[in-house]
Structure 1
Amino acid sequence: MDAAQRGARSGLAVAIPGATGALLIWALFAGGGSGTDATATLGSAAVIVATLLMIGWARGVVVFPRLDRPGLVAVVAAALLVAWTGLTVWWSIAGDRSFDALAKGLVLLAFGAVGLAAAALPGRPVRALALLLAAALGAVLLWALLGKAVPTLGPDDAGRVTRLRGAVGYWNALALLADAALGLGLWLVATVRERFGRPLGALLLYAATLVILLTQSRSGLVAGLAVVALVLGLTTNRVEAALLALLASTPGLLVAGWAFTRPALVEDGGASAARVSDGAVLGVLMVLGSIAVLVAVRMVPVARLVSTRRQAVVRGLLGTAVLVFAVGLLGLVAAVGNPVTWVTSQVTSVGEVSNGPGRIGQFETNSRTVWWGEAWQVFRANPAGGTGASTFEIARKRVRSNARNVSEPHSLPLQLLSDTGLPGFLLGLAFVVGVALGIRATLGRLERDERAAAASLTALPLAFGLHSLVDLDLDFLAVAAPTILVCAALLGAGRPAAARAGGTMTLGVVVAASAVLWVLVAPGLSSRAVDAAYRQSSDADLGAAASSSRRAQRLNPLAVAPLYARATVAGLARNAGAAETFLVQATRLQPANPATWYELGIFRYVAGDLCGAYFAFNAAYTLDPKSSLFYEGSELDRARAAVNDPLQPACGR
């Protein structure tokens, strides 16, 4: 290696962690919820960083790890799953949605590439990544708690929905991040010996406990317990860590307990004045709780207690756990009688659990069992390839039992089955197995300090995996992107450097990155062009509106929104034939989407073509018989009556 390469590598040793931290913060704070808002911006940034890293690898200034067999299985399975997601566009019932899913998958692959490069840095890269993630998660949790204490800093609809969700936008996703923070907090208090490691770790544990409870997330509680059990099991000084965790989490339990007594803080629809006043008190209590945590970890001689009275400490910890379990079980029996019968009835219930502290003790699935059954029906009807990535919301309408909409079945395995068929599910399973075996191998080969940091990082993939069994976390880049980055880093940690890529790779990487960037930005540009077309139409600038709608269709030929815009513009131009043609094109583009047929039916109904309207409405009804659009006396009923009119049937005799 020449001097220029050594200088470049020393600079990258700072640049790569900086880029990694920036992407993590961006994803956590602006991941865009479950939609595609952040796919173009955050995704493009991740792809650009990954591209620069690959070019650096080709030039010999960036190192990527040479993965072992489980790591290769995971990486290949992930790449093939994204490719299969893209292939489902071919037969998807909503190609634009599947194209969006492909874009998200490519973004996650880019985050994975960044994670691999971060794992190959000199020094202690796993420890550095754990510190970065701990700081980022701490900032996310702090901001969420500030939003609860000061409502003006929280979400706009905090008065309507009081469950804590912070910048992520979804309470269960925020609870997932808090679960990961538990693992990192345990590592900080038990392993990091720097001056500020233990107090900051204790504060992270305190904040994570408080956030999990205020999200009222039942999956967050279960996953949090699993994370604590795993990280303690992988920690050498687990007794000391458990005692410190108890000291740090107890104030969080007490503060959350007080919050649960204030309806304005934990129940939907509270008065604004009460939220402000109770939030101020909560803020004071949170500060006092943090002070109590710092005093406890400072004053209680944990290390001496564990070294001199280890057995007594262990018995105390176990006794506390047994006592909490026994009290909870007795309370459950007193409240519901036979707990087995009660749990069975709760799980099989399809009722909605209202937001409030009481939901934590409920086992009702919020209709999840219904959605899981619908996903299974969709898969059984399309086992080879599913209905296309991210199309469950449309595919389920044929079999749903009510008019309620849901974007995903709230179970990643069933989502893969219904959307991508058996091949997608098997590729997802191969990825999970590869990651699990790869992380186990990583924990076995790292030296002590790096191993402890890696053990704490496993909290994130574990929490994500558990949550994804009952939720839609893959839709949120705020949790999916950091998880993939951490998984990749854990797979590559401690591995030797891979052989330098050939210099000819640079051109291929640039071409591929350019194509990926187009995949990421084209749908957003198309949506903007559609918005412009409607805006120009309202300003009576029909020429510009027609141009914008045509541009929107060129940018995203899989979407029906540009066709709707073109139909609107043609209608305003009094070209009814062209308008109907565009709506017919939409039904041909997405013939299994009831919305396209309904739009065509409405157009024909307004135009007086009741015969054509009936057939369009009937197609929509066949695809979505439980839609709220088809009520008694709706346009479908009126069109049907016109068709069946014995004197003047709309379709003729």
Structure 2
Amino acid sequence: MRWPVLWGAAAGGLAFAALFFSDGSSQSRIFWIGAPAVLLAAIGWAWRPPRLPPWGSAFFVCLAAFVVWQGVSTAWSIQPSRSWDYTNRGLVYFAFAAVGALLGGVPMRRYAAAGCALLGVLFVWALVAKVIPGLYPDYGRLARLRYPVGYWNELALLASASVPLGLWAVGPRHDRRARVAGTLLLYAALVVTVLTYSRVGIVLTVVAALMWLWLDRDQLAALGPLALAWIAGAAVAGVGLLLPGVSSDGQSHHVRVRDGLVFGAVVVVGAVVVALASRFALSRAVDRRVARVAAVALVVLVVAALAAAVVRAGGPSDFVSARWHELSNKVSAQVPNTPGRVLSGSSSNRWRWWKESWNAFTDKPLQGTGAGTFELVDRVERNSPLATIEPHSVPLQFLSETGIVGFLLYAAVVVSAAIAVLRRERARAWLALALGAALCFVHSWVDIDWDFISVQGTLFLTLGALVCGPGTPVPGRRRWLVSAAIGVCALAGLYSVTSPWLSVNRINAANDAIVRDDPGQALADARSARAFNPLSVDALFIEAILEPSDAKALELYRRARDLEPTNPETWYQLGAFELRYLKRPRDAYRDLNESYTLDSYGPASLKGGPLDQARCKIDPATCP
């Protein structure tokens, strides 16, 4: 088997695993998907390292430096265990990029074709889960399309990134079967995008098509298939929105089965119509005059709609003021997860989270709060029960969590990648892949993309292939010192992604032992969990619960508090232990009150809970 074919298959397997088995932002999948990526990258680079152009080398150096800085931030992090987990994400994305660089000998057209196939299968599987409710029962709770990626906005981003690939596939240089498949990809992508109700996803889907039509020389040949696919896709998505079992939350299994079958039939009929009609649409290019008239009509329609909105608002100033107020909303509720949300201009609390992130940066501008710690920052800063894990802006997140140093390293990664990609030979496949990568970067400004290996893994795999460029690997002589260094780094990386996973595994084992009424085994598992991850407060908590000695348990709770002194949970657990087991209400009140001070919507805020109980014991007059 030839070397490019071998690594192409390996890279395809990694991409497939990331897209279909990442389980949203699950940290455990970082181990299961990331460890093979690290191994593949190490083997490939040690055996036949790729030949990198200068800007490609700069990309990998900057990315490595950024990941190392994330790891270093664990030293001052307000949540060290979370920073370790987040460093592992960056490490895995680096491994994906390194595997991508091994594909330098694979033509870009084959890479693009593989991308079309993977995304096409992903969209079909996503829609099948609407047809067969048993595949993803959680749609009974919340209907927004998200399976198997786990998050609607990320699925919509993948759909928008597939638009340039679909338009590449319908180009006149391909055979008819490939062009029909490209048209079907465009059709499926639009249906998926609409059913996610993702506002940014819909906008980026349209922008992706417009950018392709502006940059591609064969844009007239793509107009017909695009129009056909999107008209049919809009009709099918419209039917889906009208079916409660497809588009509404809280529907019974019976309703979802009934409406799912109807929707599935409509999707299949739409696909058949697109496939048959594409034979005509692909046989001739759209007349340039017709395209110009359509473009002018579209612009006039958009301008008219904007003018009507301005007039309805009472004038330009009132319109701008209303839109600004809507964007920077200060309400505590999210925009409802209904189809009507696509017409809302609300930031859905993003503005609040962006301000919290900015304030965290201004407090610690040089080093930040530590990688992956915004969840704790939000809990301390929030003024409503609503909580989040990230500020919904990757660059702003890195600015607040890793400081100006980390942000500049991230900016260097983006700039070096952009320059390296732009210096590649500019074929149509290159344009499709480059536009997809650009869409991912734009989307990262307004969402939590870094948490999803389904998007970031495939993105860095693509960037690795793009920045490497064509050419043969470095030949001949074995550079044993370099290979040994790669091996050492790989072992360190494997330890880094494995140890926290083993810690969580032992915590789960300890909980299982508690259920089996086996306290001895539970304590042994808890101690193993802390040995694998000494930064984990969860491991400290479960060991303290199982520790027969109150003095040792108190020491463990205090150690957790000292490890994360700004975490309201560590203060709460310490105070609750002091109240219930040590019978020290004054100490308990002090620590529980500190937890409440840090987060007035946290566990200490429970009416009649440990804080109120401690207060009552100290001052009986406060008892209800």
Would you say the 8 A contact 1:532–1:548 is kept in 2?
Answer: yes
Match among 557, 564, 569 for residue 595 of structure 1: 569
Q: Equivalent residue for 2:593?
A: 618
Q: Equivalent residue for 1:650?
A: none
Looking at structure 2, the residues matched to 301 and 520 of structure 1 have their Cα atoms a distance apart, in angstroms, of 49
Would you say the 8 A contact 1:243–1:302 is kept in 2?
Answer: no
Would you say the 8 A contact 1:182–1:228 is kept in 2?
Answer: yes
Deviations 1:487-511 (A, max 9, x none): 1211122367557661332222222
**Which runs of 5 or more residues in structure 1 are unaligned?**
1-9, 58-62, 648-653
- The reply to whether residue 54 of structure 1 matches residue 45 of structure 2 is yes
Q: Equivalent residue for 1:539?
A: 516
Match among 40, 48, 54 for residue 68 of structure 1: 54
Looking at structure 1, the residues matched to 617 and 65 of structure 2 have their Cα atoms a distance apart, in angstroms, of 52
1:13 deviation in Å? Answer: 2.3
Looking at structure 2, the residues matched to 248 and 620 of structure 1 have their Cα atoms a distance apart, in angstroms, of 55
Give matches, 1:75-94, under 5 Å: 75-94=60-79
The residue type equivalent to 1:172 in the other structure is N
Looking at structure 2, the residues matched to 418 and 329 of structure 1 have their Cα atoms a distance apart, in angstroms, of 36
The 1:290–1:323 alpha-carbon spacing in structure 2 relative to 1, beyond 3 Å, is farther
Give matches, 1:227-266, under 5 Å: 227-266=208-247
Match among 597, 604, 608 for residue 629 of structure 1: 604
Deviations 1:522-567 (A, max 9, x none): 1111111112222223333232222211111111111011211211
Q: Equivalent residue for 1:37?
A: 28
Give matches, 1:318-329, under 5 Å: 318-322=295-299, 324-325=301-302, 328-329=305-306
Looking at structure 2, the residues matched to 331 and 256 of structure 1 have their Cα atoms a distance apart, in angstroms, of 26
Give matches, 1:428-577, under 5 Å: 428-442=410-424, 445-446=425-426, 451-494=427-470, 498=474, 502-570=479-547, 573=548, 575-577=549-551
Would you say the 8 A contact 1:202–1:244 is kept in 2?
Answer: yes
Give the CA RMSD over aligned residues. Answer: 2.2
Looking at structure 2, the residues matched to 192 and 580 of structure 1 have their Cα atoms a distance apart, in angstroms, of 72
The 1:564–1:192 alpha-carbon spacing in structure 2 relative to 1, beyond 3 Å, is farther
Deviations 1:52-76 (A, max 9, x none): 101212xxxxx5132233x333222
Would you say the 8 A contact 1:67–1:495 is kept in 2?
Answer: no
Q: Secondary structure at the match of 1:355?
A: coil
- The reply to whether residue 343 of structure 1 matches residue 323 of structure 2 is yes
Q: Secondary structure at the match of 1:199?
A: helix
Looking at structure 1, the residues matched to 33 and 569 of structure 2 have their Cα atoms a distance apart, in angstroms, of 30
Would you say the 8 A contact 2:595–2:604 is kept in 1?
Answer: no
Would you say the 8 A contact 2:568–2:599 is kept in 1?
Answer: yes
Would you say the 8 A contact 1:28–1:140 is kept in 2?
Answer: yes
Would you say the 8 A contact 2:244–2:259 is kept in 1?
Answer: no
- The reply to whether residue 365 of structure 1 matches residue 347 of structure 2 is yes
Match among 1, 7, 11 for residue 20 of structure 1: 11
Looking at structure 2, the residues matched to 332 and 271 of structure 1 have their Cα atoms a distance apart, in angstroms, of 38
Looking at structure 1, the residues matched to 593 and 475 of structure 2 have their Cα atoms a distance apart, in angstroms, of 61
Q: Equivalent residue for 1:415?
A: 397
Q: TM-score, normalised to structure 1's length?
A: 0.90
Looking at structure 1, the residues matched to 393 and 324 of structure 2 have their Cα atoms a distance apart, in angstroms, of 20
Would you say the 8 A contact 1:179–1:220 is kept in 2?
Answer: yes
Deviations 1:602-647 (A, max 9, x none): 1111122101101211221232234253145442233235445699
Would you say the 8 A contact 2:23–2:148 is kept in 1?
Answer: no
The 1:341–1:495 alpha-carbon spacing in structure 2 relative to 1, beyond 3 Å, is farther
Q: Equivalent residue for 2:190?
A: 209
Looking at structure 2, the residues matched to 111 and 147 of structure 1 have their Cα atoms a distance apart, in angstroms, of 28
The residue type equivalent to 1:162 in the other structure is A
Would you say the 8 A contact 1:172–1:217 is kept in 2?
Answer: yes
Looking at structure 2, the residues matched to 431 and 321 of structure 1 have their Cα atoms a distance apart, in angstroms, of 37
1:335 deviation in Å? Answer: 7.3
Give matches, 1:119-268, under 5 Å: 120-121=104-105, 125-153=107-135, 155-268=136-249
The residue type equivalent to 2:78 in the other structure is I
Would you say the 8 A contact 1:227–1:462 is kept in 2?
Answer: no
The residue type equivalent to 1:618 in the other structure is N
Aligned pair count reads 616
1:150 deviation in Å? Answer: 2.2
Q: Secondary structure at the match of 2:139?
A: coil
Match among 539, 552, 564 for residue 578 of structure 1: 552
Looking at structure 2, the residues matched to 35 and 162 of structure 1 have their Cα atoms a distance apart, in angstroms, of 20
Q: Secondary structure at the match of 1:346?
A: helix
Looking at structure 1, the residues matched to 114 and 339 of structure 2 have their Cα atoms a distance apart, in angstroms, of 33
Deviations 1:4-30 (A, max 9, x none): xxxxxx521221110011111010001
Stretch deviating more after TM superposition (294-303 or 202-211): 294-303
Would you say the 8 A contact 2:245–2:258 is kept in 1?
Answer: no
Looking at structure 2, the residues matched to 293 and 321 of structure 1 have their Cα atoms a distance apart, in angstroms, of 23
Looking at structure 2, the residues matched to 318 and 539 of structure 1 have their Cα atoms a distance apart, in angstroms, of 69
The residue type equivalent to 1:25 in the other structure is F
Looking at structure 1, the residues matched to 243 and 330 of structure 2 have their Cα atoms a distance apart, in angstroms, of 28
Q: Equivalent residue for 1:386?
A: 368
Would you say the 8 A contact 1:386–1:418 is kept in 2?
Answer: yes
Q: Equivalent residue for 1:640?
A: 615
Deviations 1:284-338 (A, max 9, x none): 11111111211222023653x44xx32x232243145235525754775687665
Q: Secondary structure at the match of 1:260?
A: helix
Looking at structure 2, the residues matched to 494 and 434 of structure 1 have their Cα atoms a distance apart, in angstroms, of 18
- The reply to whether residue 98 of structure 1 matches residue 83 of structure 2 is yes
Looking at structure 1, the residues matched to 301 and 166 of structure 2 have their Cα atoms a distance apart, in angstroms, of 22
Deviations 1:175-199 (A, max 9, x none): 0110111110000001551231100
Looking at structure 1, the residues matched to 223 and 54 of structure 2 have their Cα atoms a distance apart, in angstroms, of 33
The 1:34–1:625 alpha-carbon spacing in structure 2 relative to 1, beyond 3 Å, is same
Stretch deviating more after TM superposition (155-164 or 623-632): 623-632
Looking at structure 1, the residues matched to 385 and 114 of structure 2 have their Cα atoms a distance apart, in angstroms, of 44
Q: Secondary structure at the match of 2:148?
A: helix
Would you say the 8 A contact 1:255–1:286 is kept in 2?
Answer: yes
The residue type equivalent to 1:295 in the other structure is L
Deviations 1:433-454 (A, max 9, x none): 1222222221xx34xxxx1101
Stretch deviating more after TM superposition (390-399 or 179-188): 390-399
Looking at structure 1, the residues matched to 295 and 431 of structure 2 have their Cα atoms a distance apart, in angstroms, of 23
Looking at structure 1, the residues matched to 256 and 515 of structure 2 have their Cα atoms a distance apart, in angstroms, of 41
Looking at structure 1, the residues matched to 5 and 404 of structure 2 have their Cα atoms a distance apart, in angstroms, of 43
Would you say the 8 A contact 1:403–1:628 is kept in 2?
Answer: no
Would you say the 8 A contact 1:244–1:302 is kept in 2?
Answer: no
The 1:141–1:350 alpha-carbon spacing in structure 2 relative to 1, beyond 3 Å, is farther
1:391 deviation in Å? Answer: 0.7
The 1:192–1:51 alpha-carbon spacing in structure 2 relative to 1, beyond 3 Å, is farther
Q: TM-score, normalised to structure 2's length?
A: 0.94
- The reply to whether residue 109 of structure 1 matches residue 101 of structure 2 is no
Looking at structure 2, the residues matched to 14 and 631 of structure 1 have their Cα atoms a distance apart, in angstroms, of 59
Looking at structure 1, the residues matched to 210 and 198 of structure 2 have their Cα atoms a distance apart, in angstroms, of 19
